[in-house]
Structure 1
Amino acid sequence: MVVMINTKTIISILLVVLITAPVTTATLTHEQQDKTTLKTENALTIGKGSRYNIQGLIYVHIEGTPYERGFQHGYLLSGEIIDMITRWSNIIHNMPVIGSFTGTPGSAKYYKTSEKWWEFCKTRAMKIYWNDYPPEYQQEIKGIADGVNAKDETIFERKVTYEDILTLNEMYEFMSRLLAPHKSIHPFRSLFYSIKSFVPDIPDNEEKTFVTTMLQQPPAHHCSGFIATGNATTHGQMVISDSVWFGNWWFSYYIAQRWNVILDVTPGNGNRFIISTSPGYIWSDEDYYQNEKGIAFIETTCPQGLWRDKGLPLAVRARNAAQYGDSIDDVIYYLTHNSDGIMNAVWLIGDAKTGEIARLETGLYVYSVQRTFNGFYWSANNPMDIRVRSEELRLASIYKGRVYQLLHLLLKTEGYQYYTREYRPSNRDIKFEELGKEYYGRIDTEVVKKIMSTHPIVDMSSDCKITDSYL
């Protein structure tokens, strides 16, 4: 991986393979009808910032002080940012049980419900997250909001605020937290009545159905990752790849397809870095990161385990790792230090300077690391370390795993492997290991494209990002 110098070099570093995936979830009824009008521009510059569209992607370069680069970001992606807020606002219409009472697309009721849901999320996100963002990132977020407003864009017939941009950045973490509560005796009952306060048409007798349905929701296992180095690759180079998965009611293709921004950031302090991200985000959230020090890292999220109110959100930890991390040790420190535990994950990390790669599994209080200069690792949302798994899987989850395991024996269904105390390979784990061994010594970007495009690894993927030491 070379030091990033110009736009041509930047765009070549991130080889993005757009994979067409079938939208199979039944919760897309509202989304398929919801045709949001999107204002977009092919090429635009402001100050030191610029954007252009390429093969379904949007390349954006920003630089300067936190506020300056934020303003450039908001100005260059104003229409897309409004579109992304709209999409997150509309996921309420897919919520189990609730979606039947929120109105039809285009109706005043539908619009008002989206607005109320966004306000619900924003109020809570600000209370939970804003004070955990360092001043540098707060200023960047305020700049994004002002940049959007400079283009006279509006959301719900009002100007965009920094609170909107903060909420946009935290929606995945907020939803993970909202749907994995640990402090309330009846958390989903409380959620039901919170939503009923702005969707009053929901009958009280739907409460039991709502709670039961939410408890039975399948996990949101997102992303697949692969990394190789040394004698596993053609010339000893490091190769790393990540693909995004989608598939439940709140992270469907309607949301995932908007992760089509390649954001190239030259900050006043720290490293120049690239992330694959969504409009308005100061971090990847997919997660794909690389910087000018030859560091690249990706993430696949695991079933949500223990978390706490204190600690830094992943948005801050991952952004710090990209902007200020110079080594694998730095990245591990930033990702694990003072964590709030939300979005515990398996991370694959590579250092093009040394050729070393690592697999990091994170919980709240424990984490594990594997490192090598020769070989490959993969990630399919399935931790291997028993300490990490034990922390993530509470009794209810282990019980669910036993039920899923019985279904696997009877009906050959998949999914139980994520809920056993000891590691059991899922179908993706098995395929990754099989292909890694098959191509050992011949792995390069072209081979990794084949690996990431193979069933079941490719199933429900919306994209794929690949880079290596040469790029």
Structure 2
Amino acid sequence: MWVFLVLCIAILSLSYPASALSPAQEYLLEGSYALEQDGWTLVHLEGVPYRMGFQRGYLTAESASYLIISYLGPADDEYRRMSREIAEKHLWDRIPKEYQDELRGIAAGLRAKGYDWDVWDVLAANAWADQGLYEEALEEDAESRCSAFIATGDATVDGQIVMGHNTWCPYNEDFMYTIIYEVRPSKGFAFRYQGAGGTIWSGQDWYVNETGLMVTETSLENDATDPKGIPVFVRIRTAVQYADSIDDFLEIMLEGNNGAYPNQWLIGDAKTGEIASLQLGLHSWDLERTFNGFLYSSNHPSGDSFREEAACGEPDPMNYCYARYVRWGQLKEEWYGKVDAEIGKMMLADH
């Protein structure tokens, strides 16, 4: 509660009364909207990158401000200063122009709504998963805290793909991730994702695009990184926007991989019924694909190649990530062939 109060005070100190929109700004908002339902906010965005960015910044300004303060700290905080410097000097040139334009638009939308943030704040908040590559002072011990599964074929009730994900975070940290974005870009495929205000990627990593590609993940631990690579938030956003198959997804995620935020990605293609698991390190990865099966993830690396690169020892039965991995195997055996959305919810609740 105290954290929430501090965030509110900090955000109020960084906002000012929003002025009336100009005709040009009103034009930028055309076609976009935000709807509240059951504790979620559905935000529809469309158009060229800068326009979608302005829509995102304006329609999700309060949530975006919470995100920036929560991840970067107040204006005079040293962590925020370093994060902004990393964003400007190390990350900006590794981002495609279309996403640069979108980030600029977000900052403009925030200002139009009355918040005093700039593009470096917006980029730094989006790039939280990549920043540790560039400044040791920014590195923190990762807390593994997600569970996910994807099932298809003879593992599910009707043969279609069922995917589920559960993020474990204190409510005073990730309470702003209650937005479902519906994005129709001028290039690429339309897609939806769960996110916070001002984010061009999920961060919670839950995506579905109009071709039937669906993606989720749980994080892994690996120290191998390449600061010259493409930021992970850029690669996953590109993959969701431009991939229409598992092969496309793999190509985009592997090209220019910087090793940041190592994950076990679970991917499904509703067109074919195929699902896949990609345990992605820096130079090594493990891939499993099937049209009939149940794949699961609990922050425990099971792939031989990833484990070798990450120098993993023997699994510790007392480690809760490994214990959840074992439990997933039991749930798979118990519910194989019966998986649907309701069974998926029950399995995640068990976990």
TM-score scaled to structure 1, two decimals? 0.67
Match of 1:165 in 2: 122
Preserved CA contact (<8 Å) 1:378 1:432: yes
Secondary structure at 2:252 match in 1: helix
Q: How much has 1:132 moved relative to structure 2?
A: 0.8
- State the distance in 1 between where 2:174 and 2:75 align: 24
Write out aligned runs for 1:121-140 (5 A): 121-140=83-102
Q: Aligned pairs, how many?
A: 336
Write out aligned runs for 1:364-403 (5 A): 364-393=282-311
- State the distance in 1 between where 2:7 and 2:205 align: 27
Q: How much has 1:34 moved relative to structure 2?
A: 2.4
- State the distance in 2 between where 1:222 and 1:320 align: 25
Secondary structure at 2:42 match in 1: strand
Identity %: 33
1:147 aligns with 2:105: no
Summarize deviations over 1:60-115 as a string: whole Å, max 9, x none: 1100001111111111111221121111234xxxxxxxxxxxxxxxxxxxx5653x
Unaligned segments of structure 1, at least 5 residues: 1-27, 91-110, 155-159, 182-186, 196-213, 247-251, 418-425, 458-471
Q: Which of these residues, 304, 313, 319, is aligned with residue 414 of structure 1?
A: 319
Match of 2:153 in 1: 230
Q: Which of these residues, 51, 63, 86, is aligned with residue 68 of structure 1?
A: 51
Secondary structure at 2:305 match in 1: helix
Q: Which of these residues, 307, 313, 324, is aligned with residue 428 of structure 1?
A: 324
Q: Which of these residues, 32, 35, 42, is aligned with residue 49 of structure 1?
A: 32
Q: How much has 1:53 moved relative to structure 2?
A: 1.6
- State the distance in 2 between where 1:283 and 1:237 align: 26
Match of 2:344 in 1: 448
Q: How much has 1:268 moved relative to structure 2?
A: 0.4
- State the distance in 1 between where 2:208 and 2:234 align: 16
Question: After TM superposition, where is structure 1 displaced by more than 3 Å over at least 4 residues in a row?
Answer: 111-114
- State the distance in 1 between where 2:343 and 2:41 align: 26
Q: How much has 1:369 moved relative to structure 2?
A: 0.9
Q: How much has 1:117 moved relative to structure 2?
A: 2.5
Q: CA 1:255–1:230 in 2, change beyond 3 Å: closer, same or farther?
A: same
Q: Which moved more, 1:30-39 or 1:65-74?
A: 30-39
Match of 2:255 in 1: 337
Q: How much has 1:238 moved relative to structure 2?
A: 0.4
TM-score scaled to structure 2, two decimals? 0.89
Q: CA 1:140–1:383 in 2, change beyond 3 Å: closer, same or farther?
A: same
Preserved CA contact (<8 Å) 1:70 1:139: yes
Unaligned segments of structure 2, at least 5 residues: 13-25
Preserved CA contact (<8 Å) 1:294 1:353: yes
Preserved CA contact (<8 Å) 2:133 2:227: no
State the one-letter code of the partner of 1:238: I
- State the distance in 1 between where 2:112 and 2:7 align: 25
State the one-letter code of the partner of 1:349: I
- State the distance in 2 between where 1:266 and 1:137 align: 14
Q: How much has 1:339 moved relative to structure 2?
A: 0.3
Preserved CA contact (<8 Å) 1:224 1:244: yes
State the one-letter code of the partner of 2:143: A
